[in-house]
């Protein structure tokens, strides 16, 4: 029998970038064009078998409302406290959402567990006709900040499993 590793994962990013949609795609392989927005925090789990001997179980905290807290110093940390990994999401059609993602990364790097694995996800890659953030720009930022980076589409499922699998592979599995 193999080993089961359990990790807490949080999603952060501006409202409407597709955090809940990425989770829904990963956990249920579904997409909904008219999703109701999350109220409070939703908790879901999903497991990934990395190989015969290794299964990773993610406890996923999909947050809402955190986007609105201007003075988040006192409120946001409860979401990412004890998180082993974080997916910071922006929308490739909204430049401002990348700025917001960068500020979340900065906060995580200052305040979260120093070993946290952070992935940057440029979501809505299916909307390439409306692209506002170039792949190269985001990749360069991710490299500089030491982040995993994927352009994803919760709608078409592009790179969603790849995103979570690459996080699983970077976590301490021993």
User: Rule CB under 6 A: which residues touch ligand GDP?
Assistant: 15-21, 33, 35, 37-38, 123-124, 126-127, 153-155
Q: How far is CA 173 from CA 56, 100, 118, 159, 165, in A?
A: 9, 31, 16, 23, 13
Minimum separation from the CB atom of position 160 to ligand GDP (A)? 9
Closer residue to ligand GDP in complex, CB, 42/50 = 42
DSSP code, position 34: T
Q: Which of 27, 31, 38, 46 binds Mg ion (CB under 5 A)?
A: 38
Q: Would you say 59 or 126 has its CB closer to ligand GDP?
A: 126
> What x-and-dash track marks residues 13-32 binding Mg ion by CB under 5 A?
------xx------------
The one of ligand GDP, Mg ion, none whose footprint includes residue 153, by CB under 5 to 8 A per kind, is ligand GDP
CA separation, residue 59 to residues 44, 48, 76, 169 (Å): 6, 12, 18, 16
Work out whether 152 is an interface residue with Mg ion (CB under 5 A): no
Q: From the CB of residue 114, how many other CB atoms can be counted at a distance below 10 Å? A: 6
Residue 47 binds which entry of ligand GDP, Mg ion, none, CB below 5-8 Å type-dependent: none
If DSSP codes are grouped into helix, strand and coil, which group holds residue 151? strand
Contacts of Mg ion in 45-104 (CB under 5 A): 64
17 binds, among ligand GDP, Mg ion, none (CB under 5 to 8 A by kind): ligand GDP
Distance (Å, rounded) from C-alpha 140 to C-alpha 136? Answer: 6
Q: Kindly list the strands in the beta sheet with 85-91, ordered across the sheet, starting from the edge strand earlier in the chain.
A: 41-51, 54-63, 3-13, 85-91, 117-123, 148-151
d(CA 32, CA 162): 20
Q: Which is nearer to Mg ion, 22 or 98 (CB)?
A: 22
Q: Identify which of residues 5 and 79 has a Cβ nearer to ligand GDP in the complex.
A: 79
Footprint on this chain of Mg ion (rule: CB under 5 A):
19-20, 38, 64
């Amino acid at each position: 029998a193999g080993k089961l590793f359990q990790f807490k994962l949080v999603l952060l990013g501006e409202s409407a970038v597709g955090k809940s949609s990425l989770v829904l795609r990963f956990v249920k392989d579904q997409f909904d064009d008219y999703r109701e927005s999350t109220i409070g925090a939703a908790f879901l789990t999903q497991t990934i078998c990395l190989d015969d001997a290794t299964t990773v179980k993610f406890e996923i905290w999909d947050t809402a409302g955190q986007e609105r807290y201007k003075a988040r110093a006192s409120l946001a940390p409860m979401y990412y406290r004890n998180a082993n990994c974080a997916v910071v999401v922006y929308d490739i059609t909204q430049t401002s959402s990348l700025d917001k993602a960068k500020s979340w990364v900065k906060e995580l790097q200052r305040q979260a567990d120093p070993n946290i694995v952070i992935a940057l996800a440029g979501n809505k890659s299916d909307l390439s006709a409306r692209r506002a953030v170039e792949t190269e720009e985001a990749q360069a930022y991710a490299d500089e900040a030491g982040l995993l980076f994927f352009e994803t589409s919760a709608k078409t499922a592009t790179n969603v499993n790849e995103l979570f699998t690459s996080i699983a592979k970077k976590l301490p599995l021993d």
